[in-house]
Amino acid sequence: MIDICNISKSFGDVKALDKLTVQIPTASVFGLVGSNGSGKSTLLRILSGVYTPDKGKITIDDEDITDNPKVREKCCFVSDFPYFSNHATVENTAILYREMYPNWSDEKFKELSKAFRLKTKTKIITMSKGMQRQVAITLALSACPKYLFLDEIFDGLDPVVRQLVKKLLIGEIAENSMTVVIASHNLRELEDLCDHMGFLHCGGLLLEKELDSLKLELYRIQAAFSQPLPQEALEPLDIVDVKNTGNLYTLVVRGNINDINSYINSLNPVFVQALPLTLEEIFISEMEAAGYDIDHIIE
């Protein structure tokens, strides 16, 4: 389990992370989403040991991660822009990983190279952005880490490869109880993959929940009434967002769907419909609630 306790990280005057506390259970896929500059990549870099937090402590399997190779053997980080030296081929980069990671599997490396159709003797820097990312994923998965940290992993991958990556990750989680922390703006892909979500904004964690419960907590209610509702009529609901055009109301409401439905019905709607939100919609709603919406940005 990854235990992130009260960590802060500043870059000069900018607070990238501010007293962040979160626990990531073993064998889960934890999706990190958030606004630009919310601290997603910073958190991943701290987890992988690239950065050190200014304050707070992170333990992985109850061991402090600070300059601790024993912990880092269990972790692998694929950054948003993977680095390969000028002369590196897939094959000789694999040698470095083999030397570094005790659980490295040549068998898996061959399998994945084949699956991604990688030319292992070609210089990596001559490959396309998407191919380079596939190389990074191949190397990371072949290292058989217990914890995998992925930053914007789907960027530059075509839809087929995305599916392949997701399938591979799910396979690893199922077979080897791998824990994946993945930061991305591609909420559609995360929705398929993650079981836990963390919403970051301005260095803080807005919310952290299981994806299912997150989805079951927020609903879009479309309701039409015979006449406009008085302002206090909707107050008993935990409304995240409300828009109305005449007598037609569109509400984003947090809570139990049965409770929400029964209350709306008590207001005698002409028409009512409750829809679950996509992850993207949940994200936008939560961000709006935190003051991060288009109107505020334009203002």
Residues at the contact surface with another protein, assessed by CB under 8 A: 9, 11, 42, 45, 48-52, 67, 69-70, 72-73, 75-77, 79, 81-83, 85-88, 92, 95-96, 98-102
Of 164, 129, 168, the residue nearest 148 (C-alpha): 168
Q: Which is nearer to another protein, 145 or 198 (CB)?
A: 145
Q: How far is CA 220 from CA 39, 141, 223, 284, in A?
A: 29, 39, 10, 13
Q: Which is nearer to another protein, 95 or 174 (CB)?
A: 95
Q: Which one, 71 or 251, has the nearer CB to another protein? A: 71
Please give the Cα distance from 237 to 253 (Å, whole number): 7
Specify the 3-state DSSP secondary structure of 141: helix
Q: Is 234 helix (H, G, I), strand (E, B) or coil?
A: helix
* CB atoms inside a 10 Å sphere around CB 15: 16
Nearest approach in angstroms of CB 52 to another protein is: 7
Least Cβ distance, residue 149 to another protein (angstroms): 8
Q: Closer to another protein by CB, 57 or 70: give it.
A: 70
> Cα separation of 105 and 249, whole Å?
57
Please, which residues have CB within 8 angstroms of residue 152's CB and are 6 or more apart in sequence? 41, 80, 183, 184, 185, 186
Q: How far is the CB of 39 from another protein (least distance, A)?
A: 12
Torsions phi, psi of 114, nearest 5? -70, -45
Please state the closest distance from residue 67 (CB atom) to another protein, in A.
6
In terms of C-beta density within 10 A (0-12 exposed, 13-18 middle, 19 or more buried), how is residue 51 classed?
A: middle
State the nearest-atom distance from the C-beta of 128 to another protein, in Å.
16
Q: Which is nearer to another protein, 44 or 240 (CB)?
A: 44
Give the shortest CB-187-to-another protein separation in angstroms. Answer: 24
Q: How far apart are CA 206 and CA 135, in angstroms?
A: 34
- 252 contact partners, CB below 8 Å, separation of at least 6: 218, 219, 220, 221, 239, 240, 241, 242, 277, 281, 285
For another protein, the closer of residues 45 and 215 by Cβ is: 45
Q: Closest separation between CB of residue 97 and another protein, Å?
A: 9
